[in-house]
Structure 1
Amino acid sequence: MMFAVAMTFIDQTIVAIAAPDIVRELGLSTSGMQWVVNAYLLSLAAFFALGGRLADLYGPRRIVVIGTLVFVISSVLCGCVPEGDAAQSWLIAFRATQGFGAALLFPAALAVVVAVFPRERRGRALALFFGISGALTALGPLLGGWLTNWTWRAVFWVNVPVAVVALALTAFAHIADRRRPGTLDVRGAVLIVVGMGLSVLGFQQAWSWGWGSAATWACIVGGLVVLCGFVAYERRVHHPLIDLRVFKDRAFTVDTVVLFFAMLAFVPLFFFASVYAQVCLSASPNQAALFLLYFFAGFAIASQWGGRILDKQGARPALKIGCVLGCVGFALWAEKLTDLSMHDQWPYAALAGAGIGFILAPASTDAVNRAIGPSYGEVTGITQTVRNYAASVGLAVLGTVLTHRTNSNVTQTLEARGFPPDVAENVARNISESITGTGDNSSPTGTGPAATALRDSMNAVRMDFAEANQWVFYGMAIALGIGFLCALRHPGGRAVTPTHTDAEATPAPEATQAPAGQPDRRTGP
């Protein structure tokens, strides 16, 4: 299962490194390339809940295989994109189907892991699962930089050997498929796909369209209205896509809310720290990826420790420790950003990573342990949908803060150097959009006033951008601080009362008996 989900995590970051080469060879517009990146994340967020429900209804092993095939076939087609007018539409379409495959694959894979391990060993197992799969996100930029030196198409084709290994291991493991009785709530699926898709689209495009744009708010508000309609509908349907009764469990609700605030910082960090390293520290893309490894060193160690705490004491201690460490780590890291030294920042990056590591696996595992009946896939779909939604909100809100503060800082710097206020404001806007990637200029080069000002004042602009990033990292610290206040509401204790048994599950006909010579995975190893 870890091989299978490796593809989905790597693909969240690997394409961004290859973006300049893709744009240059295929002649894509800047907005078109943004859609190539966003189509994957948008589809992933919109279909996660559906993927979890399908895993429950038709068996997680079957959905893992289908999701892997959809993902890898889409990857091959992305790498085979033809040059010409159809290139942009081709890439966007198959990046979206990639996201759909990942949305099927991930909750089903997690449901397999949950079903195989007994509750008393589940915390450590999922800590390893989340720790390694999360660290693979940092591998994306490193792998992308290396593969792009050969051809940018390889960033898609690299998924083929990984998928082959994943499918082979899935076959050898003889995983028993357990199905949950019920029917697919098609109307609910349409509502949540439209609601999640619209609102996430609004948040994603807020940078390009602007927060004052009617289109931005139409998507966000329209999506939220549809999601409210989804909740009202799910309360009435006999076999809902999401059983909302699970939110009556206060521990599950707290787990989900803490995950939301943790993800406001976790996924956006990849973008902001990478851009900061390249702009302020003059790092290459590969060096920027290495910069993030400090964060993941703390993350990987703490996720294992958090899993042990969960198994012995429950989720509450791990969540409280994680939120405190994350809040302090991001705040101290923010203080050091203006030193413009990677060496001075690594302890605080590792501390922030440890905070996130203490949160993600325990909160996700505790939420799954409190599933109603055997609805592992469904509950995983809920938590992963919340995580992706929070990531979109964090990128949009913190990105707006970054652009606004960069523009303000650079304007003040240029005015202090004698630029007229109107010229300084225009130049600053061009510079901030070039650096943050929110405008049409991909880099501050050329003969225009923005490029000239940036070349003449590079050190000052670097400091301005570093100071703007401080606001972003303080925002991440605040998010973890709010998460701590929410963690205090966790009732504590372990989810030791069985809420599901093998008798409650309806096994697939072929899974009623384990293959000869193989242990019965339905009751754990």
Structure 2
Amino acid sequence: MAGNPTPAPSGPITPSGAAVSRAPRQKLALAAMLFAVSMTFIDQTIVSIAAPSITDELGLSASGMQWVVNAYLLSLAAFFALGGRLSDLFGHRRIMLIGTLVFVISSVLCGCVPSGDLAVTWLIIFRSTQGLGAALMFPAALAVVIAVFPVERRGRALALFFGLSGALTAVGPLLGGWLTAWTWRSIFWVNVPVAVVAIVLTVLARIPESRRHERLDVVGAVLVAVGMGLSVLGFQQASSWGWGDVATWACVVGGLVVLVLFFGYERRTTHPLIDFEVFRDRAFTVDSLVLFFAMLAFVPVFFFSSVYAQVSLSASPNQAALFLLYFFIGFAIASQWGGKILDKRGARPAMKIGCALGAVGFYLWAQKLTDLSMHDQWPYAAMAGAGIGFLLAPASTDAVNRSIGASYGEVTGITQTIRNYAAAIGMAVFSTVLAHVSTDKITATLQARGLSQAEAEATAGKVAEAVTGHPDGQGPSGDGPVAEALRGAGDAIRMDFAEANQWVFYGMSIALAVAFLCALAHPGTRVTEKVPED
């Protein structure tokens, strides 16, 4: 890794002889970091539940609402590497606190969005700054946990960190459903008390600070942000621009070219934003690949299952949240088992079990979507969640452990960039799939009910925008043949949307199957050596 890192302390974090205060301080530090990162995980899912209410009140289009959701994920992916590097250069605690403040201020402003033409721009801007705050906060928070726990206890601490922070994503749908019944704006304001608790605990924990005396790679930060932004923009807009449009491929290819330039620049610079030498470790590379393919499904599943529940199952936001709870029951239980397997046998067995279970779970879940019954789907939703739970903490912890003696902020920035870039791509690609398949199926349904091809295609394009707050599938109101056809086609359209979602869930199953093939290449070695003492 770049530079000469300051070793993370492996002994007590209290002054010499104050052994009594070591455990409370470590626990306070871990609790503080969990409160902080819980906001970032909650915000990956809470907006999905409130999407219909937001679009209904503010009059957003489906593509506009998709950008509100995706702007957060894209900003995370673009700035995670920068956040990890800043954490190393200016101190983990300091950057964590700055990230928390940026995040919570942005949350308040998201909740204060005005109605009118400015609404979508306002939300996208402050959702993006939310993502920036999270990108600063998360790698710094993880580096704090690593710094305060000695390596022989770090495995359990990190398993708890990744397991609980991942499980806290379940709070998003549940809290979102309850808060949306009052006002959707409160889904952003709820971050304020959580941030206050995180800041207070951070101060009380008296976390030691350390800095690396190196320069910031500004050019590298700009290149990686531009490259990721362009490529995801192309994927995101493919559903509206079309895959045959020059602009779509200009963004995708242009972004990838910039990322190639970024790689070349990083290999030549003295203090790179990302030191790609870490990928010489095969285990780290496999961990990263497993996380990439798993994240194609993990974050998008909240959005698509929520919209499916509200459109095809005619569920309320609260009911949709309970639907997602099945997924997290499996996740929460399996994450604990995955942590134990990691401690006893290493990451490879846990990743193999998780990927295989997740692939089967998503496949069986997809087959049950057309039953239009929550009760029939819960075992398969739980199985899919268990698969992700088994692999998430072991893969993430093993990757971080590979950075022993190096820059924890930097390596965390790498893995989290990969995870969140994958989530953004998954959202974009699966949104495109859902939009195209829904439109085709609904067009056929409306034509069968007497509409001309032109009328059916025009209307299907509107009805397929399922996140516009019309989950009953009735679309435009009024008199005439279009309105009459829609009023009689509600059940058929709900089934069309369910069948379109099957394609998305089969895609998630394929992503986990590819992750399983990657996991087979893991060498199975375990990191057991201790961090050198000062």
- Same fold, TM exceeding 0.5? yes
CA distance in 2, matches of 1:416, 1:159: 48
Change (3 A) 1:152 1:458: closer
Query: Does 1:185 pair with 2:192?
Result: no
* SS of equivalent to 1:489: coil
Residue 436 of structure 1 and its aligned partner are, at CA, apart by: 5.7
Q: 1:105 is matched with which residue: 137, 140, 165?
A: 137
CA distance in 2, matches of 1:255, 1:261: 10
- Report the residue type matching 2:428 in the other structure: A
Deviations 1:45-79 (A, max 9, x none): 21110001111222211111111111112222333
Residue 501 of structure 1 and its aligned partner are, at CA, apart by: 3.1
1:218-233 to 2 correspondences below 5 Å: 218-233=250-265
Residue 22 of structure 1 and its aligned partner are, at CA, apart by: 4.5
Residue 179 of structure 1 and its aligned partner are, at CA, apart by: 2.6
User: Is the 1:198–1:219 Cα contact (8 Å) retained in structure 2?
Assistant: yes
The residue that corresponds to 1:507 in the other structure is none
User: Is the 1:123–1:308 Cα contact (8 Å) retained in structure 2?
Assistant: no
User: Is the 2:70–2:424 Cα contact (8 Å) retained in structure 1?
Assistant: no
Deviations 1:241-294 (A, max 9, x none): 111100000000000011111011111101111111112211111111110110
User: Is the 1:252–1:370 Cα contact (8 Å) retained in structure 2?
Assistant: yes
* SS of equivalent to 1:150: coil
* SS of equivalent to 1:152: coil
Change (3 A) 1:93 1:404: closer
**Greater Cα offset, 327-336 or 447-456:** 447-456
Query: Does 1:321 pair with 2:347?
Result: no
Deviations 1:123-148 (A, max 9, x none): 33223222222232232233233333
Cα RMSD, aligned residues only: 2.5
* SS of equivalent to 1:11: helix
Q: 2:395 is matched with which residue: 363, 382, 385?
A: 363
Deviations 1:135-186 (A, max 9, x none): 3223223323333343333222211111110000001111112333422111
The residue that corresponds to 2:532 in the other structure is 501
Q: 2:239 is matched with which residue: 186, 204, 207?
A: 207
**Greater Cα offset, 462-471 or 486-495:** 462-471
* SS of equivalent to 1:235: helix
CA distance in 2, matches of 1:28, 1:278: 17
The residue that corresponds to 1:522 in the other structure is none
The residue that corresponds to 1:44 in the other structure is 76
Residue 296 of structure 1 and its aligned partner are, at CA, apart by: 0.6
CA distance in 1, matches of 2:198, 2:431: 36
1:340-489 to 2 correspondences below 5 Å: 340-371=372-403, 373-432=405-464, 434-435=465-466, 444-447=475-478, 451-489=483-521
How much identity, in percent, do the aligned residues show?
74
Residue 197 of structure 1 and its aligned partner are, at CA, apart by: 1.8
- Report the residue type matching 1:320 in the other structure: K
1:169-184 to 2 correspondences below 5 Å: 169-184=201-216
Change (3 A) 1:149 1:111: same
**Greater Cα offset, 229-238 or 24-33:** 24-33
The residue that corresponds to 1:521 in the other structure is none
Change (3 A) 1:233 1:116: same
**Greater Cα offset, 398-407 or 18-27:** 18-27
CA distance in 1, matches of 2:105, 2:196: 12
Normalised TM-score (structure 1): 0.89
CA distance in 2, matches of 1:124, 1:320: 20
User: Is the 1:314–1:493 Cα contact (8 Å) retained in structure 2?
Assistant: yes
User: Is the 2:37–2:137 Cα contact (8 Å) retained in structure 1?
Assistant: yes
The residue that corresponds to 1:515 in the other structure is none
- Report the residue type matching 2:263 in the other structure: V
Gaps of 5+ in 2: 1-32
User: Is the 1:435–1:443 Cα contact (8 Å) retained in structure 2?
Assistant: no
Deviations 1:26-58 (A, max 9, x none): 565655444433332222221110001111222
Query: Does 1:279 pair with 2:311?
Result: yes
- Report the residue type matching 2:344 in the other structure: K
- Report the residue type matching 1:175 in the other structure: I
CA distance in 2, matches of 1:468, 1:310: 37
User: Is the 2:79–2:132 Cα contact (8 Å) retained in structure 1?
Assistant: yes
Deviations 1:201-229 (A, max 9, x none): 22223333332332222222111111100
The residue that corresponds to 2:106 in the other structure is 74
CA distance in 2, matches of 1:295, 1:325: 13
Query: Does 1:257 pair with 2:289?
Result: yes
Change (3 A) 1:419 1:23: closer
Deviations 1:64-106 (A, max 9, x none): 1111111112222333345566554443332222211111001
- Report the residue type matching 2:523 in the other structure: P
1:85-234 to 2 correspondences below 5 Å: 86-234=118-266
CA distance in 1, matches of 2:293, 2:53: 34
Residue 502 of structure 1 and its aligned partner are, at CA, apart by: 4.8
- Report the residue type matching 1:286 in the other structure: N
User: Is the 2:236–2:432 Cα contact (8 Å) retained in structure 1?
Assistant: no
The residue that corresponds to 2:16 in the other structure is none
- Report the residue type matching 2:317 in the other structure: P
User: Is the 1:122–1:311 Cα contact (8 Å) retained in structure 2?
Assistant: no
Change (3 A) 1:184 1:124: same
**Greater Cα offset, 288-297 or 471-480:** 471-480
- Report the residue type matching 1:355 in the other structure: G
- Report the residue type matching 1:232 in the other structure: G
Q: Between Structure 1 and Structure 2, how many residues are aligned?
A: 500
